[in-house]
Amino acid sequence: MRGQKSRRKSRRLPEPMSVPGPLEAYRTLLDLTRQMLDAAHREDIDLLTRLEAGRVECIRALPGSPETLAAGLRPAEAEALRQTLRDIQACDAEVLAYLQPWRTHLGNFLKRLS
């Protein structure tokens, strides 16, 4: 088709995804952990299971170990990262403590079935 101008639409490249910094990535993990705690308190096991799957993916995407990351952060950011990790651990412990009686009951039930 000589002589005709190309009528191709110019394609815009997608905007680059913003990659969260290490502190933001761990804060996202904390948010998921808090949602899991809320689901545990409401005994919404289906939601808790879905959130756990999302959390696993979040953990896989974390940008390195906390120790390595903290070394590259300013002191205030490193302390914020450490506090975020402490908060994650506290939520984890509370979720486990809340679910332990249910897990024990389920384990006893499964023993009786076998």
Residue 35 lies in a domain: yes
- For the stretch 8-63, pLDDT in tens is 444 554 444 444 578 899 999 999 999 999 999 998 989 999 999 999 999 999 88
Residue 74 lies in a domain: yes
Range of the domain at 74: 22-113
Residue 66 lies in a domain: yes
Residue 15 lies in a domain: no
CATH code for the domain of 75? 1.20.58.380
**b/e sequence 90-105, b meaning 16+ C-beta within 10 Å:** ebeebbeeebeeeeee
pLDDT-based confidence at residue 3 (cuts at 50, 70, 90): low
Residue 34 lies in a domain: yes
- For the stretch 68-111, pLDDT in tens is 888 888 899 999 999 999 999 999 999 999 888 888 888 888 88
Structural domains in the chain (count): 1
Name the residue with tokens 């079935």.
Answer: 113
Strands (E), 69-112: none
Q: What residues have CB less than 8 Å from 29, skipping those under 6 apart?
A: 55, 58, 59, 62, 84, 88
